């Protein structure tokens, strides 16, 4: 009698286990695609910044519009810059959205979406500094975010292994260093520098632009090589550029109107 009960209990347990295995399996395969995890370095206002425990900014809004349009479920995670690059390369992350410049070097290891924003580097210095152009940087203490296009541009100007070059893990840390006087100049992306100057009037910073030394850059969504999501994401970017969504988002974070035609005609 006892053993029959035991047998029935065991059978019941097994069917519960089987059932839950089915359910969880269904959850993870969903409609064919699971949730994409997308990394960022969220100290890069106005593109990505933390508001409480939420990542907000132009990139956050644009990413949301892109993913909705593409019908992809995602989670946006503040992984930090280097972990984001590593994660997308080894595909533990399915994308990176962090004001990431499309470069030939990166294209060797990654795919990029279509370009979604134009940028260039600028030099941020304390007001009254006698720096006039990028050439004046040599001999100065310069701060950059490690592994960025600003880092690369600064290396060209002050020397690759120069001890004058201080590298920081986040964008915010470079501006902190400038404000503390740890460095005399910071090379960073123009829209981020402009946003910082505007929102920190007490920091008394000015920006030096230099078209001869700093090339045009374009941001793209960073994807693993041969990402299965690239096509959908590119189509979504095109759609939201054409249906007014891009412009709406742009105007929430920037002044003026975006030059969508110019963006669409660029193939960086
Ligand atoms: N555009 C530059 C690059 O790709 C800097 C990006 C930094 N982004 C950030 N979220 N900190 O190298």
16-48 pLDDT, tens digit each: 544 444 444 333 333 446 899 999 999 999 999
Is residue 3 within 8 Å of 40, Cβ to Cβ?
no
The vertex-234 CA angle with 232 and 240, nearest 5°, equals 100
Query: How sure is the predictor about 267, in pLDDT bands with cuts at 50, 70 and 90?
Result: confident
Q: How many helices (H) and strands (E) does the chain have?
A: 10, 15
Q: What pLDDT does 22 receive? A: 41
Question: Is 109 found in the same domain as 227?
Answer: yes
* Residues in the chain, total: 268
Residues 48 and 91 in one domain: yes
**Residue 44 domain-assigned (yes or no):** yes
Do residues 128 and 111 share a domain?
no
User: Is residue 142 located within the same domain as residue 105?
Assistant: no
- pLDDT reported for residue 11: 56
Question: Do 239 and 108 share a structural domain?
Answer: yes
- The tokens for 102 are 């499309």
Other CB atoms closer than 10 Å to residue 9's CB: what's the count?
Answer: 10
For residue 187, tell me if it sits in a domain. yes
C-alpha separations of 115 from 37, 91, 215, 223, 266 in Å: 20, 21, 15, 13, 7
User: Which ligand 1 atom is the nearest neighbour of the CA of 41?
Assistant: 10
- In a shared domain, residues 114 and 234: yes
- For residue 97, pLDDT beyond 90: yes
Among 208, 235, 252, where does a domain finish?
Answer: 208
Summarize the confidence of residues 144-164 as an average pLDDT: 96
Task: Judge if 54 and 81 occupy the same domain.
Answer: yes
| Residue 148 CB less than 6 A away from ligand 1 | yes
User: Quick check: 184 pLDDT over 90?
Assistant: yes
Q: Is 59 in the pocket of ligand 1 (CB under 6 A)?
A: no
What is the three-class DSSP state of 144? strand
pLDDT above 90 (res 13) = no
Question: Across residues 56-60, what is the average pLDDT?
Answer: 98
Predicted confidence (pLDDT) at residue 8 exceeds the cutoff of 70: no
Does the CB atom of residue 98 touch ligand 1 within 6 A?
yes
Domain boundary among 208, 232, 249: 208
Same domain, 95 and 128: no
- pLDDT of 109 reads 98
What is the rounded radius of gyration, in angstroms, for the C-alpha atoms of the chain? Answer: 23
3-state helix, strand, coil in the chain (%, to 5): 45, 20, 35
Give the CATH number, domain containing residue 49.
Answer: 3.40.190.10
Instruction: Say what the pTM is.
Output: 0.88
The whole-number average pLDDT for the span 198-209 is 96
Mean pLDDT of 94-101: 98
Rounded mean pLDDT, 51-66: 98
128 within domain boundaries: yes
The residue with tokens 């089987």 is 18
pLDDT at 21: 45
Cβ atoms of residues 100 and 219 within 8 Å: yes
Domain endpoint, select from 186, 208, 230: 208
**Same structural domain for residues 185 and 200?**
yes
User: Does ligand 1 have an atom closer than 6 angstroms to the CB of 208?
Assistant: no
The answer, yes or no, to whether residue 127 has pLDDT greater than 60, is yes
Cα of 2 vs centre of ligand 1, distance in Å, is 68
Helix (H) / strand (E) element for 189: namely strand 185-189
Tell me which residue range forms the domain holding 251. Answer: 36-118+219-264
**Sequence-distant (≥ 6) Cβ neighbours of residue 144 within 8 angstroms:** 150, 151, 154, 165, 166, 167, 168, 174, 186, 187, 188
Give the C-alpha separation, 135 to 200, whole Å: 26
238 within some domain = yes
Q: How far is the CA of 31 from the centre of ligand 1 (A)?
A: 33
Is-contact 74 33, C-beta < 8 A?
A: no
On whether both 194 and 125 belong to a single domain, the answer is yes
Q: Among the atoms of ligand 1, which is closest to the Cα of residue 171?
A: 11
Our count of domains for the chain comes to 2
- Pairing outcome for strands 205-208 and 121-126: antiparallel
CA dihedral 194, 199, 201, 206 (to 10 degrees): -10
pLDDT at 10: 56
Q: What is the predicted pLDDT for the residue at 3?
A: 56
Do 130 and 255 lie in one domain? The reply is no
Is the pLDDT at 162 greater than 90? The verdict is yes
pLDDT at residue number 268: 80
Q: What percent of the chain has pLDDT over 90?
A: 85
Give yes or no for residue 61 having a pLDDT over 80: yes
Ligand 1 atom at shortest distance from the alpha carbon of 40 = 10
The pLDDT value recorded for residue 183 is 98
């Amino acid at each position: 009698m006892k053993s029959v009960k035991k047998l029935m209990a065991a059978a019941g347990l097994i069917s519960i286990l089987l059932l839950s295995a089915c359910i969880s399996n269904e959850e993870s395969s969903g409609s064919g695609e699971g949730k994409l995890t997308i990394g960022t370095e969220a100290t890069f206002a106005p593109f990505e910044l933390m508001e409480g425990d939420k990542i907000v900014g132009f990139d956050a809004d644009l990413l949301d519009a892109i993913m909705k349009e593409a019908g992809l479920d995602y989670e946006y995670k503040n992984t930090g810059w280097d972990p984001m690059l590593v994660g997308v390369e080894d595909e533990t992350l399915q994308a990176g959205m962090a004001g990431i410049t499309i470069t030939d070097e990166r294209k060797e290891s990654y795919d990029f979406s279509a370009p979604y924003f134009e940028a260039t580097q600028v030099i941020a210095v304390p007001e009254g500094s006698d720096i006039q152009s990028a050439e004046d940087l040599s001999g100065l203490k310069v701060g950059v975010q490690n592994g960025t296009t600003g880092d690369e541009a600064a290396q060209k100007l002050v020397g690759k292994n120069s001890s004058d070059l201080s590298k920081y893990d986040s964008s915010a840390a470079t501006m902190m260093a400038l404000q503390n006087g740890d460095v005399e100049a910071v090379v960073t992306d123009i829209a981020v520098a402009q946003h910082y100057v505007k929102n920190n009037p007490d920091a008394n910073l000015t920006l030096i632009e230099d078209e001869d030394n700093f090339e045009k850059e374009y941001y793209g969504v960073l994807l693993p090589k041969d990402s299965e999501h690239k096509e959908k994401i590119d189509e979504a970017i095109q759609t939201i550029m054409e249906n007014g969504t891009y412009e709406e988002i742009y105007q929430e974070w920037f002044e003026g109107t975006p030059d969508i035609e110019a963006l669409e005609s660029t193939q960086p």
